Amino acid sequence: GNSVTQMEGPVTLSEEAFLTINCTYTATGYPSLFWYVQYPGEGLQLLLKATKADDKGSNKGFEATYRKETTSFHLEKGSVQVSDSAVYFCALMNYGGSQGNLIFGKGTKLSVKP
Amino acid sequence: GAGVSQSPSNKVTEKGKDVELRCDPISGHTALYWYRQRLGQGLEFLIYFQGNSAPDKSGLPSDRFSAERTGESVSTLTIQRTQQEDSAVYLCASSLERGPYYGYTFGSGTRLTVV
């Protein structure tokens, strides 16, 4: 079946540090991959996505590259800010038939200290 | 409206009672999803509605759970005879259509606590 595994948190970094949150997936076919972010007290928001292999999604300084050979979609940011503190969810969608639902990882909580 | 609205934002109920959760999707969004987020867990898919088509109920955990949606409007998720394991945040999302090319907008959720 389809599943997403992401690194367990919490992750605590100092401001301006480099961020990597690992995400790997298991899926049949060619899924689309997503990162969602949930800021404190808010709903989930789409951060970035990639719909085919080797695509790079980017937004707000975050990047993730769809690596089919390693079935990964790791989230990176070169210099985090306090305002990036949130829970980050990796997700996949295998579109076709009845599979067009988002499947999420467990989430990784990021805390950035000034 | 501008976003997906869910109500109530918090609900505390006694074990065995029925609860009803409401979701107002973005106007014009044909696809609507319900997810459940238990503490320390990822989001679990519950049910999906697309226009007037039969809903995809494959994620509902038991027959105590049901949901309705009339056309492309409001949806309600009903949990009968609540149990403590039903305690979770219930999230609703909507999108223009189903599929990876359409953005999903999530509501802020309903936090359900069964005591």
pLDDT in tens, B11-38: 999 999 999 999 999 998 999 999 999 9
Q: Answer yes or no: do B42 and A107 touch at CB < 8 A.
A: yes
For residue B71, CA distances in Å to A86, B55, B58, B67 come to 35, 11, 20, 13
Task: Report the residue count for chain B.
Answer: 115
Shortest CA distance from A37: residue in chain B: B106
Separation of alpha carbons B38 and B90, rounded Å? 9
User: In the 8-state DSSP scheme, what is residue B55?
Assistant: P
Q: Token digits for A67?
A: 């690596």
What are A52-83's pLDDT values in tens digits? 999 999 999 999 999 999 999 999 999 999 99
Cβ–Cβ pairs < 8 A, chains A and B: 57
Q: Answer yes or no: do B58 and A51 touch at CB < 8 A.
A: no
| Chain B CB within 8 Å of residue A92 CB | no
Q: List the pLDDT tens digit at each of the 114 positions of chain A.
A: 889 999 888 999 999 999 999 999 998 888 999 999 999 888 889 999 999 999 999 999 999 999 999 999 999 999 999 999 999 999 998 876 555 688 899 999 999 999
Nearest-neighbour CA in chain B from A103: distance (Å): 7
Separation of alpha carbons A37 and A46, rounded Å? 6
Mention every residue, 6+ apart, whose C-beta is less than 8 A from residue B53. none
Q: Answer yes or no: do B42 and A45 touch at CB < 8 A.
A: no
Residue among B43, B89, B94, B97 with most chain A CBs within 10 A, to mutate:
B43
What 3-state DSSP class applies to A84? helix
What 3-state DSSP class applies to B86? helix
pLDDT at residue number A42: 83
Nearest-neighbour CA in chain B from A28: distance (Å): 16
B26 strand-pairing partners: none
What are B38-72's pLDDT values in tens digits? 987 788 999 999 888 888 898 999 999 999 998 88
Q: Evaluate whether B39 touches B88 at the Cβ level (below 8 Å).
A: yes
- CB contacts, 8 Å: B48 with chain A: 100-101
